């Protein structure tokens, strides 16, 4: 599964698949009903690949959290995202014990659980055989040096350059998001702002 092509668009429910991009716009397909719509540079678009979740002192890729849930539940669906807040927080703690309760809101947890169930129901949860590492560590487990170039802490978007064409395509769709967005689904920049 290429999570660079699975997108969240601010103000629109559900997830979308990237179909094509051109200068200043893209075309995405709703994973709910298959309807295709255009996206523009003014839209706040984030790929699942580029979203991170705050943990104490750092952050972890959302893809890693989805993989943890998938492995724990043996690929099955999990509790409903509309479950009581206490139940959701307790479950999320079993998945990610170090989640940052001050920066990850219940709305974020609901969204993660909703997205997991959405992707699981459509058999879209696939992971590479290689373990997904926290971006703060190297393959041997040692800490990577912190660098502003390696991770944009304001928007949470990955700043890595790769030769992967699909990665480049999704970043073209979301190019303006880095400049305009002050948060991703799981991140915020000020104590007053809430994830939508």
Residue 153, pLDDT above cutoff 70: no
Find the mean pLDDT for residues 9-32.
91
Query: Residue 139 above 50 pLDDT?
Result: no
Q: What was the pLDDT predicted at 161? A: 29
Name, in order, each residue with C-beta under 8 angstroms of 192's C-beta and a sequence gap of 6 or more: none
Compute CA 123 distance to the chain's CA centroid, rounded to the nearest angstrom.
18
pTM: 0.66
Name the average pLDDT for the chain: 74
The mean per-residue pLDDT over the stretch 170-189 comes to 40
Strands 6-9 and 45-47, bridge-based pairing: antiparallel
> What's residue 170's pLDDT?
41
- Which is more confident, 153 or 10? 10
| Whole-number pLDDT of residue 179 | 35
Asked if residue 5 lies in contact with residue 45, where contact means CB atoms within 8 angstroms, the answer is no
Please report how many Cα atoms fall inside a 13 Å half-sphere around the Cα of residue 156, on the Cβ side. 26
Output 13 or 89, whichever has higher pLDDT.
89
């Amino acid at each position: 599964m290429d999570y660079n092509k699975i997108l969240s668009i601010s103000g629109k429910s559900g997830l979308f698949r990237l179909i094509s991009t051109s200068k200043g716009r893209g075309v995405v397909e709703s994973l709910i009903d298959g309807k295709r719509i255009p996206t523009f540079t003014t839209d706040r678009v984030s790929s699942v690949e580029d979203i991170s979740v705050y943990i104490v002192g750092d952050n972890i890729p959302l893809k890693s959290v989805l993989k943890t849930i998938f492995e724990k539940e043996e690929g099955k669906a999990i509790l409903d995202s509309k479950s009581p807040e206490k139940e959701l927080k307790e479950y999320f703690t079993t998945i990610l014990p170090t989640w940052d309760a001050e920066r990850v809101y219940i709305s974020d947890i609901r969204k993660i659980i909703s997205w997991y169930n959405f992707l699981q129901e459509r058999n879209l949860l696939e992971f590479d055989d290689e373990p997904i590492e926290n971006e703060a560590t190297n393959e041997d487990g040692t800490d990577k040096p912190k660098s502003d170039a390696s991770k944009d802490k304001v928007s949470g978007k990955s700043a890595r350059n790769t030769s992967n064409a699909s990665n480049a395509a999704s970043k073209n769709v979301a190019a303006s998001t880095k400049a305009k967005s002050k948060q991703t689904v799981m991140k915020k920049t000020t104590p007053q702002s809430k994830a939508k």
